[in-house]
Amino acid sequence: MLHPSHFAAFVLFALFASVVFGITQRDTPPRMVRYGVYCFVLFVGSAILLSWLMYFIAR
């Protein structure tokens, strides 16, 4: 059975979702790549930001 860390799990999630969003939400390959990267950065960036926020709230 696969036991990824929380970080590895959300990076995997962000990767798969960003590829699908990039391909389906834009028309041309360069825009697809740009949008996919944008989604990936937003997924991972927001998760890291929220994690730090929860870390400080918990203290």
Place of tokens 């709230």: 57
Smallest distance from other proteins to CB 59, Å: 22
CA distance 19 to 40: 8
Using CA atoms, how far apart are residues 52 and 30, in angstroms rounded to an integer?
33
**What is the nearest approach in angstroms of other proteins to the Cβ of residue 57?**
20
Question: Which residues make up the interface to other proteins (CB under 8 A)?
Answer: 1-4, 9, 12-13, 15-17, 19-21, 23-24, 27-28
Which amino acid is located at 48 in the chain? Answer: I
Q: Least Å distance between CB 4 and other proteins?
A: 7
Nearer to other proteins, 23 or 54 (CB): 23
